[in-house]
Amino acid sequence: MRALVTGGAGFIGSNIVALLCRQSFDVRVLDNLSSGYESNLRPDVEFVQGDVRDQDAVECAVKGCEIVFHLAASVGNSRSLAHPIDDSEINAIGTLRVLEAARHHGVRRLVYSSSAGIFGELRTLPIAEDHPVEPDTPYGASKLAGEKLCLAYGKLYPLETVCLRYFNVYGSNQRFDAYGNVIPIFVHRVLAGEPITIFGDGEQTRDLVNVADVARANVLAATAPGVGGAFNIGNGSRVTINELARLVLAAAGAAVPIEHGPPRAGDVRHSQADISKASRAFGYTATVPLEDGLRTYMAWARSAGV
C-alpha cells in the first residue's frame, strides 16, 4: 500500500514514516525542508521536495497514493503570532490544496494532523471532542480551518477523512526551536547548562504524549475500517510545568536553576485529553510513561547534539 506523508522530514512526520516502513508500506514524503531535516529522511522512501502551497508539487506527490497523512504545517502559537499570514496560507490553504489533489487522484483516506489548540481555554477537564472550539491564536484558528475543510470533504466526496487533535507531543527527532514546545526548550537549556525559564507560576498543566504513541495513532486511524471524524490524541493525564521541569532535570541527571517569567500570550492554563473516543474507534491507547519517554528523548538529544 502506498502512503504519502506531507511534512515527512519533520518531527512527527518522520516518526510516522519510520513506523509505516516497519509495517511494509510503500512511503513517499513531501517536504520543503523549512522545518524538516534531510537527516530525518530514510533511504528507503521516495522524497518529493516541495511546498503544500504549490499545487503542482502536491499533485505530483499525491498521485498513486491510497492514503495521505497530512502533517505539513506552520506549527505553534508563538510562531503564528509572529507570522499570522504564513500560518494561514500553509495551514488552511495548503490543506485545501492537499484535499483537492487527494480528491482528484482517488485517495481512499486522508489523516489530518490537527491540534488541541483549536479549543482555546478549556472549560472542562478532561476535554472531549465535543468541547466548544474557540481558538485563542492564529495557529488554533488555522488548524481548525484545516480540520473543518477535511471534515467537509469527507461528507462531499468519496474521500474518508480523519482528524487527529494532538495535545503536547514530544520525543525523538524533536529539535530545539524558539517557537517550539516546552520539552525540547527545557532539554536544550539543561544540556547547555543554562537556567530553565517557566512562564507564569508553573502550576499550569499539560497533557504530554510521546511521538511513538502519536505515530501509532496515525497508522491505526489510517487502517481501521469505517473510521472518520475528529479524535483527541494525548496521554489522557496531565502534569504541571513545575513538575515537568523537575522530571527533565532528573532525566538529564543535571542541576540548573529554575527561573520564572511572565505568562505568555496565547497559552492555556490547563490541558488534558479524553482519549476514549479514539480508543473505541481504532484501539488507541497511550503506552509510553512520561518518565520513560523523557529518558529516551534525553538520550536522543545527546546523541543528536541537540
Q: Which has the closest alpha carbon to 143: 154, 153, 132, 133? A: 133
Other C-beta atoms lying within 10 Å of the C-beta of residue 52: 27
* Sign of the torsion formed by the C-alpha atoms of 145, 75, 42 and 173: negative
Locate 88 and state its grid cell: 494561514
Q: What gap in Å lies between CA 138 and CA 112, rounded to an integer?
A: 18
* Sign of the torsion formed by the C-alpha atoms of 178, 164, 89 and 269: negative
Rg of the chain taking only CA atoms, in angstroms = 18
Other C-beta atoms lying within 10 Å of the C-beta of residue 152: 12
Question: So which residues are the catalytic ones?
Answer: 139
- Hey, what's the torsion of the CAs at 36, 40, 43, 49, to 10 degrees? 0
